[in-house]
Each structure stands twice: as structure tokens, then as C-alpha cells.
Amino acid sequence: MRTISRCLGLAFAAVLIVGGVPASAPAQNSSLAPTPPMGWNSWNHFACKVSDKVIRESADTIVANGMKDAGYVYVNIDDCWQGKRDAAGVIQPNEKFPNMKALADYVHSKGLKFGIYSSPGPKTCAGYEGSFQHEAQDAKTYAEWGVDYLKYDWCSAEKVYKPSEMQGVYRKMHAALMATDRPMVFSLCQYGLEAVWRWGASVGGNLWRTTDDISDSYDRMSVIGFDQNGLGPFAGPGHWNDPDMLEVGNGHMTHDEYLTHMSLWCILAAPLLAGNDLSKMTPETLAILNNPDVVAVDQDPLGTEGRRLRQEGPFELWMKLLADGSRAVGLFNRSEDAARMQVSFKEIGIIGETASVRDLWARHDLGPFNRSYSAEVPKHGVVLIKVKEATVGSAP
Ligand code: GLA
């Protein structure tokens, strides 16, 4: 849908001030996203087939199936909700969304939060009305509706702005959101262009996409996910790298591949926005999304993003340091056959010889181990463990 070139530019673009863009925006509100945002977004499954009914039913299901209690609180409409502007320029939803304020009220009545989507360009990626030259007006409208989260997607902005103006463009919408006095999580979506992780927080972003779009395939998911190594220093409480939304449960990966997807996103401290049809979810899918031990890795209050410690061909060892001094460790097998994989306690920074190991997917303590732990890891699969020693060592 987009024609934009999506190469990851390493150039650290200077801020150019575009018409009406403030020289500096106030810092984003980090209390809005102290841990990576969790919720559900319509795009990955419904794309433009989203409607008021879909959003209401998704909100109902998130409450009924335990996802809300697991932490999934944002219910976000992606592209395709927009209609035309009225004579005063105020954006109107299209016929699939008869009353946006009533819909937001409904989502809020369930104890959930309500998210929406726009573009800084004249059109969204799907060709609907964007916010170009209506930024303050749109922010005000969103606040009046009761919006809690805005995903702001570059799309046709490439036709009206230079890449070097991108930072100013995002600052401008952030300033407009701040001027409303309604806290709204600000989600930058520009596919990792201009090395966004270097400046996303400074323009007010609570999260920023680091990659082009995910799809429901093991190849695409793993290219995106395993390519994230090294971006950790740019993430932390209030400002997160976003390798795109979850495809768990959309049907084109195996169970082990979805476990890999979820494990990797949690080690990466990625936003967890489920993208499946919640009304048709299998118990296996729900168990992946709701596993409290695994979600706790993502939501750990220390807010560090994990990284790859070792790679041996298709076998990768990733680790995330947790607030209690323990380590979440992922043994990932990207090969086409099951394989035995090992982690030594020394390589994850554990000083003593003995550590306790918990299998996070099984939610089962495996007991104390000496010096190392090894396990059989299925093809395209993962073994995700938490390793804790009595005396805390320093992270490697
Ligand atoms: C872009 C974004 C996607 C989605 C679509 C909607 O491709 O990267 O996440 O929002 O636009 O058109």
C-alpha cells in the first residue's frame, strides 16, 4: 500500500523545522508506558474489515478470556476508520463507526483503554484521510472522543515532507497531543527509517516501530525479531523499540514458531499488541498470550531490552536481565531439526556454580543445576527459562 522506500537508514537526520513545528517538544510522559504497552490492534487480522462491532466484541472478549487481567488493556483501531472532514475541517469516522465517542465510552466501561490511528500525511497507508495540516484539530477531536493511544503512521507523509523533516513532523503531533491535556500514548510508525531509535524518545514517542511490517510467517517474524539485537540501549521505561504487533494465533505458524515469536518479543521488551481474531482463539493461542511467567519477562519493571549473547549458526542464545537479578534466557533453534542446546551460567553472568532454573512456558521449577543447563529444543522452537542464583552476579 505504501510506495515509500523502507530501508533502515543509519543516517542520524538533523531536525529541520517545518511550518508551525515547535523547536522542541516537551518530553513524552514516561508514566504512560512504564512497561511496554499491551493490548490488541485490529490490523493484523481484520485490516480494513474493522468496525464498531469488531471493536466492541474484542473488548468484551479481552475481559472475558483473562487477557485484560494478564495486562492487555489497549484496544486499538488501526487504519480504515476515517470518513471525511466536515465543513469546519473536523474529522468524521466513516459509516462503520457511527459514534466514536460512544465506542470509546464502551471500551472504557470495560476498564480498558482506547487507541486510534492516523498519518502525518494527507492520506493513511490505506488511502483514508490523514492529519496533514489538521494536527491540532485532530488531537483535540481524539481527546474529545476519549482516545488514550495514537499510532501515527508515516505513509503518504513521504510525498509532502523530506526525510530530514521527519523528527519535526512527529514533534508537531506530540505537541498537539500534549496541548489537549488528555494523556495519550504516542506510537511512532515509520518502519525504522532515519534510525528512529536514536531520536524517537526525544520527539515524544513512547514507542517506535523499528522495522517494516510483520506478517504471519515464521520467515518474516524471525527476520524481524532476530534482527533487533543491539537496539536495547535506546529502550527503557516510557520509550520502547517496537518490532511490530503480534501474529500469535493468526494461523500460519506452528505452535513452536508462535512460542518463538512470543518469547523473543518478551525478551526484547517489545510492546505486546495481539493481532488475532479474539473471537476465534484456540485455548493454545490464549495460553501463549496469557502465560503470566512469560508476560512477566516482557513487563519486568527494570525495563531492559534483552540481547543476543551467542550465536552458533542457527542456534541463538538470548538473555534479558530482570529486576530481581535473575535472567530470562531463550535458547532459540532456527534450524530445521530438533537440537540440544546449552547455556553455561558463567556466560549469563552468574558467578556461583549453582543456580535454580524455571521453565517459563511450562511454569515449572526444574530445580538447581550446576554450571549449566541444557535442553532439547524443537525445530524453529525455543526453551525459555529463568535462571536465578543465590548471590546475584553482574550482567555480562
Ligand atoms: C502500515 C503499518 C501497519 C498498518 C498499515 C495500515 O503498513 O506499518 O502496521 O498500520 O499501515 O494501513
Residue 346's CATH number: 2.60.40.1180
Last residue of a domain, one of 298, 322, 357: 298
From ligand 1's centre to the CA of 129, what distance in Å? 14
Distance (Å) from CA 125 to ligand 1 centroid: 6
Cα dist from 21 to 17, 117, 196, whole Å: 6, 21, 18
The residue written with cell numbers 521449577 in the block is 365
Phi (first) and psi of residue 210, to 5 degrees: -105, -5
Instruction: Kindly report the pTM of this predicted structure.
Output: 0.93
Residue 358 belongs to some domain of the structure: yes
Ligand 1 pocket test, pick from 41, 78, 210, 211 with the greatest ligand atom count within 8 Å of Cβ, gives: 78
> Measured from the CA of 47, which atom of ligand 1 is nearest?
6
Range of the domain at 251: 22-298
Nearest CA to ligand 1 atom 3: 213
* 79 falls within a domain: yes
Catalytic residue among 78, 79, 148, 153: 153
The number of distinct structural domains making up the chain is: 2
pLDDT string in tens for the chain (396-residue length): 443 333 333 222 323 333 333 334 345 566 899 999 999 999 999 999 999 999 999 999 999 999 999 999 999 999 999 999 999 999 999 999 999 999 999 999 999 999 999 999 999 999 999 999 999 999 999 999 999 999 999 999 999 999 999 999 999 999 999 999 899 999 999 999 999 999 999 999 999 999 999 999 999 999 999 999 999 999 999 999 999 999 999 999 999 999 999 999 999 999 999 999 999 999 999 999 999 999 999 999 999 999 999 999 999 999 999 999 999 999 999 999 999 999 999 999 999 999 999 999 999 999 999 999 999 999 999 999 999 997 544 556
Angle formed at CA 240 by CA 234 and CA 241, multiple of 5 degrees: 75
113 in a structural domain: yes
Same domain, 231 and 315: no
Positive or negative, the CA dihedral 171, 44, 60, 124 is: positive
Indicate whether 3 belongs to any domain. Answer: no
Which ranges of 180-239 would DSSP assign to H, the alpha helix?
Answer: 218-226
Q: If you write DSSP's letter for every residue of 363-382 in order, what string do you get?
A: TEEEEEEESEEEEEE-TT-E
3-state secondary structure of 140: helix
Cell numbers found for residue 267: 525478551
Cα 239 to ligand 1 centroid, rounded to whole Å: 20
